[in-house]
C-alpha cells in the first residue's frame, strides 16, 4: 500500500465535482456524495470545504447561478423559468441572489453586452455545459502554518449528555451535566472536558445537530438517567489547537481536514472528531479560549 | 460550552484586578479564598497535586451549589502567595526552600460546611488525599502596588524592581507576601506570552 497524496484527495473530490455538475437539479445527499469520494460522511463536508474553498451547498448554488447566467445570454427562455430551474421559488429571491453574484439583475444582465458569465472562484471550478470538470485548484494553506501533532491515545471512557439542537446552545447541556457530575466529586483529579460533534453545523439543520458533552470517568461510574457512558476509540489522532471563541472552531476544523490532511499522507477513520476544552468559559475571555481538536487517523500504511 | 456568567468576582471587584504594564496603587478589601499551602519548587509533585486538589474542590463546591439551585458563580483564576522563612527575597533562595500558598478567590457565601461536604465526596471518589489540605481563608492585603508581568516567571524580578522603585518614590515599602494572579495557563501558553498580575502589599516606610 502506498501513501495517499494530495493528488489522490483531488481525484476523489473530482468524482464528486463531476457528479454535482451532472446532477445540478437533483437533491444530492450527504452519504451519496461522501460515498463517491470514499470519504467518511463524518468528515466529507469539511474536507470538501477546505479543499474547494466553499461548502457543497455554496458550490451547487454558485454553479446553478452560472448556468442561469449562461441561459440568460444564450437562450430566450423567460426569466421566471430560468429562476425556477436554478432552484428558486420566486423571481425576487432569484434576482437577489443573482445580483449579489453578478452585480446586475437578470434582465439587466441579459441585455448588457459585456457581462461576464462566470463568477470568481479560487478553485477555478465553473459551470460548463456538456464539459465535465477535469481539474481544480485545491485551496493552499494560507497565513501562518498550522501546528499539527500526531498523538496516540488510549480509549477514553466518558460520561456524556446528548444535545440535539443549535450548536450555540450546547451551554444548556453543560449546565445540566457538570453540576450533576460535580456534586458527585467527578470533576476532581485529572478529568478531561470534551465535546463530540456528530454533525457539521454547516450542513446539518440547526435543530438536528447532535453534540455530546463529555467528561472522562473511570470504570466505577455507571450511567444514570440522561447521563450515558461511551468509549471514544483509541488510536492515532491529528491534534491541533484552536485559539479563540468557540464560534470559530469550524474554521480550524476546515483548515485541519481540508488543507492539512490532504497534504499529510494520512486518511481519516470513520469516527467523529472530538474537541478538548482547556478553560472555563465562565471566567475566560472568548479570545483567550484554547481548544484542542482531535481528528481520528487510519493506521499509517507500511511503506 | 457557552454559558452566561452568573457572578464573576474579578468583574465585580474590577478595581482590585487592574492589570497594566505600569505599576499602580490598589486598595484590597478583605476577601475569601480556597487555599492550600506547601513548600518546594513550582512544578514539583506537591505543588502539582495541590493545584489539582484546589481545582477539584473549587469545582465540586461550585457544582454542588449549582445543582441545589443556589446562586451560581464563576470559578476564579489561580493565584499564589510566595515567601520564605529566612530571606526577605525568597526568589534568591533555592526553590526547594520556597514557601507558597495557592489560592482561588471564592464568594463569601462559601463556608466551611461546603468544604467539608466536598472533601467527603472527593475522598469517596478516590480523587486523592490532598483535598483534605484545602482551607477556607480570608486575606486583607489593604494597600498594594500592582503591575502586569508579561513573560516567563523567571523574569518577574524585573517587574518587582519597577514596583519597588514606584513604591519608594511614594515613601512606601514592601510589607507582606508577594502575590501572583495567573491570567494564563503555563501548560498551554508559551513563556514569553504568559500574563501574571503581580501584587505586593505596601505600607509607609
A24 against B53, higher pLDDT: B53
Flag if A178 and B74 touch (Cβ within 8 Å).
no
Instruction: For cell 437577489, name the residue.
Output: A96
Whether residue B24 sits in one domain with residue B91: no
Instruction: For cell 453586452, name the residue.
Output: A113
* Chain A residues with CB-CB distance to B52 below 8 A: 188-190
Whether residue B159 sits in one domain with residue B73: no
Q: What percent of chain A has pLDDT over 70?
A: 97
**B188 has pLDDT over 90:** no
| Contact present, A273 and A292 (Cβ < 8 Å) | no
- Least CB-CB distance to B74: which of A181, A282, A288? A282
CA angle A85-A91-A92, nearest 5°? 135
Flag if B64 and A183 touch (Cβ within 8 Å).
yes
Q: Per the structure, how many domains does chain B have?
A: 2
* Chain B residues with CB-CB distance to A182 below 8 A: 59-60, 62-64, 66-67
- In degrees and rounded to multiples of 5, residue B16 shows phi and psi of -85, -10
Q: Is residue A80 part of a domain?
A: yes
Flag if A283 and B8 touch (Cβ within 8 Å).
yes
pLDDT in tens, A148-194: 999 999 999 999 999 999 988 999 999 999 999 999 999 988 899 99
Residues 16 through 55 of chain B touching chain A, CB cutoff 8 Å: 52-53, 55
Measured in angstroms, the CA of A175 and the nearest CA of chain B are apart by: 8
**ipTM value:** 0.86
Count interface pairs A-B at CB distance under 8 A.
100
pLDDT in tens, B74-125: 999 999 999 998 877 888 888 999 999 999 999 999 999 999 999 999 999 9
* pLDDT of B3: 46
Whether residue A285 sits in one domain with residue A220: yes
Question: Hey, is A272 helix, strand or coil?
Answer: coil
* Helices of type H across chain B: 9-12, 45-67, 112-124, 156-169
Q: Is residue A118 part of a domain?
A: no
- Least CB-CB distance to A246: which of B2, B62, B128? B2
Residue B2: pLDDT band (50, 70, 90) is: very low
Q: Average pLDDT of A121-142? A: 84
Q: Average pLDDT of A203-228? A: 93
- DSSP for A118-175 reads S---TT-----TT-------PPPPPSSPP--EEEEE--EEEEEEEEES-GGGHHHHHH
Measured in angstroms, the CA of A144 and the nearest CA of chain B are apart by: 17
Indicate which CATH number applies to the domain containing A103.
1.10.10.60
In whole angstroms, what is the distance from residue A128 CA to residue B138 CA?
Answer: 74
Measured in angstroms, the CA of B198 and the nearest CA of chain A are apart by: 19
Whether residue B151 sits in one domain with residue B110: no
- In degrees and rounded to multiples of 5, residue A227 shows phi and psi of -95, 115
Q: Per the structure, how many domains does chain A have?
A: 2
A133 against A34, higher pLDDT: A34
- Among A130-139, A174-183, B179-188, the range scoring the smallest mean pLDDT is A130-139
* pLDDT of B6: 78
Whether residue B59 sits in one domain with residue B78: yes
* pLDDT of B159: 96
Whether residue B147 sits in one domain with residue B58: no
Which residue, B155, B179, B147, is CA-closest to B79?
A: B179
Chain B residue whose CA is closest to A190: B52
Whether residue A157 sits in one domain with residue A44: no
* pLDDT of A95: 94
Whether residue A273 sits in one domain with residue A160: yes
The model's pTM is 0.87
Q: Average pLDDT of A232-246? A: 96
A133 against A50, higher pLDDT: A50
In whole angstroms, what is the distance from residue B133 CA to residue B120 CA?
Answer: 13
Which structural domain range is residue A43 located in? 6-111
Which structural domain range is residue B204 located in? 16-28+141-177+187-205
In whole angstroms, what is the distance from residue A114 CA to residue A160 CA?
Answer: 59
Residue B168: pLDDT band (50, 70, 90) is: very high
* Chain B residues with CB-CB distance to A285 below 8 A: none
- Least CB-CB distance to A174: which of B3, B59, B131? B3
pLDDT in tens, A74-85: 899 999 999 998
Flag if A195 and B3 touch (Cβ within 8 Å).
no
Q: Is residue A82 part of a domain?
A: yes
Average confidence score pLDDT of chain A: 90
Q: Is residue A26 part of a domain?
A: yes
Whether residue B56 sits in one domain with residue B118: yes
* Chain A residues with CB-CB distance to B150 below 8 A: none
Residue A303: pLDDT band (50, 70, 90) is: low
Q: What percent of chain B has pLDDT over 90?
A: 84
Q: Is residue B8 part of a domain?
A: no
Q: Average pLDDT of A234-240? A: 97
Whether residue B91 sits in one domain with residue B166: no
| Contact present, A184 and B59 (Cβ < 8 Å) | no
Amino acid at each position: 500500500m502506498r501513501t495517499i497524496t494530495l493528488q489522490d484527495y483531488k481525484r476523489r473530490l473530482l468524482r464528486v465535482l463531476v457528479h454535482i455538475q451532472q446532477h445540478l437539479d437533483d437533491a444530492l445527499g450527504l452519504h451519496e456524495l461522501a460515498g463517491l469520494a470514499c470519504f467518511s460522511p463524518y468528515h466529507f463536508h469539511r474536507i470538501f470545504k477546505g479543499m474547494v474553498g466553499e461548502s457543497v451547498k455554496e458550490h451547487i448554488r454558485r454553479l446553478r447561478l452560472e448556468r442561469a447566467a449562461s441561459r440568460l445570454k444564450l437562450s430566450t427562455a423567460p426569466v421566471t423559468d430560468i429562476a425556477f430551474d436554478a432552484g428558486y421559488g420566486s423571481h425576487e429571491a432569484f434576482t437577489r441572489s443573482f445580483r449579489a453574484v453578478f452585480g446586475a439583475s437578470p434582465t439587466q444582465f441579459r441585455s448588457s453586452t459585456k457581462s461576464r458569465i462566470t463568477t470568481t472562484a479560487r478553485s477555478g471550478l465553473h459551470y460548463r455545459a456538456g464539459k465535465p470538470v477535469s481539474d481544480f485548484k485545491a485551496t493552499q494553506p494560507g497565513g501562518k502554518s498550522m501546528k499539527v501533532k500526531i498523538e496516540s491515545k488510549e480509549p477514553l471512557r466518558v460520561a456524556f449528555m446528548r444535545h440535539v439542537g443549535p450548536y450555540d446552545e450546547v451551554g444548556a447541556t453543560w449546565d445540566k451535566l457538570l453540576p450533576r457530575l460535580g456534586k458527585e466529586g467527578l470533576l476532581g483529579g485529572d478529568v478531561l472536558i470534551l465535546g463530540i460533534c456528530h454533525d457539521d453545523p454547516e450542513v446539518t439543520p440547526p435543530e438536528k445537530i447532535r453534540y455530546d458533552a463529555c467528561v472522562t470517568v473511570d470504570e466505577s461510574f455507571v450511567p444514570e438517567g440522561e447521563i450515558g457512558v461511551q468509549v471514544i476509540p483509541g488510536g492515532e489522532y491529528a491534534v491541533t489547537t484552536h485559539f479563540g471563541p468557540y464560534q470559530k472552531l469550524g474554521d480550524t476544523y476546515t483548515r485541519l481536514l481540508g488543507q492539512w490532511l490532504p497534504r499529510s499522507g494520512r486518511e481519516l477513520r470513520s469516527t467523529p472528531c472530538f474537541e478538548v476544552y482547556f478553560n472555563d468559559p465562565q471566567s475566560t475571555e472568548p479570545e483567550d479560549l484554547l481548544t484542542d481538536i482531535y481528528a481520528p487517523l487510519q493506521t499509517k500504511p507500511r511503506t | 460550552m457557552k454559558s452566561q456568567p452568573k457572578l464573576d468576582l474579578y468583574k465585580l471587584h474590577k478595581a482590585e484586578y487592574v492589570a497594566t504594564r505600569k505599576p499602580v496603587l490598589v486598595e484590597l478589601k478583605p476577601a475569601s479564598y480556597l487555599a492550600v499551602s506547601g513548600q518546594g519548587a513550582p512544578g514539583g509533585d506537591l505543588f502539582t497535586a495541590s493545584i489539582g486538589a484546589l481545582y477539584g474542590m473549587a469545582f465540586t463546591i461550585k457544582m454542588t451549589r449549582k445543582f441545589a439551585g443556589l446562586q451560581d458563580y464563576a470559578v476564579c483564576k489561580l493565584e499564589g502567595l510566595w515567601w520564605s522563612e529566612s530571606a526577605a527575597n525568597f526568589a534568591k533562595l533555592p526553590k526547594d526552600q520556597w514557601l507558597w500558598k495557592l489560592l482561588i478567590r471564592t464568594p463569601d457565601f462559601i463556608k466551611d460546611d461546603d468544604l467539608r461536604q466536598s472533601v467527603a465526596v472527593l475522598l469517596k471518589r478516590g480523587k486523592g488525599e490532598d483535598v483534605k489540605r484545602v482551607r477556607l481563608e480570608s486575606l486583607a492585603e489593604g494597600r498594594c502596588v500592582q503591575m502586569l508581568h508579561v513573560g516567563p516567571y523567571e523574569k518577574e524580578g524585573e517587574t518587582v524592581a519597577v514596583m519597588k522603585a514606584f513604591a519608594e518614590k511614594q515613601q512606601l515599602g514592601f510589607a507582606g507576601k508577594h502575590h501572583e494572579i495567573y491570567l494564563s495557563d503555563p501548560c498551554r501558553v508559551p513563556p514569553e506570552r504568559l500574563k501574571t498580575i503581580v501584587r505586593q502589599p505596601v505600607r509607609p516606610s
